[in-house]
Structure 1
Amino acid sequence: MAYVLGLVFIIGETSRRGFAYFSVNITTMVEDYSAGIFLLTAALWWSKKYAKAPALMAAAWGYSAGGMLVPFFAHLEAYVRGATFRPDHLHEDLNAVIAKGIIWGICLACLVITLRNGDVGRQRADMAT
């Protein structure tokens, strides 16, 4: 799932906005690109079974969930209030609200799953000894 969502962050943002959007709102682009790169790196480490892979995966999912929190809830608030806060985020775009909510939910669910099943806790116990 980290490979898939990592690519969704990078390819999705690029196809939706294009590279020219870097000159409009670099923060949005860097946020999505960094989340994608973070997830892809964590997935690669996980595949190679590196010792720190579970911790990196948890960090990547946490970063991605946190990065999607404001975009999702701000767009949801705009939709509920019927107010466009930014001209490039029309409040009538319910599909964007749903897509952001799904991505945020996947990131949050994967974070919880990684923390519960990824041996992150055991790594910490090993480091303490």
Structure 2
Amino acid sequence: MHAPDMMRHCLGEDLKVGCNLTWGPCFDYQKQFFTGKDDKVSQYPYLLRYDIEVSGFGSHRSGHLCLLRLKDQIYPGGESKHHWPTLCLNTLRWAKKQGAVVGPAHSGWGLSVPGNELPNYQVPPYDGI
């Protein structure tokens, strides 16, 4: 999605902050729009940025993360989605060095464990998403 199209959504829904999340399948195309700052279509107080959802990259297997406010979106060592680390911890360290805000993109729907006691330390199989 291009920034002017996303900005229309932000304005229409009165969202003050919007993120055009680039992820695996569109990374190589959308990386051209990344600037590391608010997009030029932003209209204060409505801000729009290109950021990343770690999905379709090597490290997405350990969770889909949103990497917000990155200064550089190209992980060191390459120019495409194919050179990303296979562990989210390394992705988190890289984002933290840039001062990015990171967190889970969405819940782990489908990651069921038997029982409903809390706390529990059961690790669900990662095949239900």
> Could you say which structure has the higher helix fraction?
1
TM-score, normalization: structure 2? 0.27
Relative contact order, CA 8 A, sep 6+: which one is greater? Answer: 1
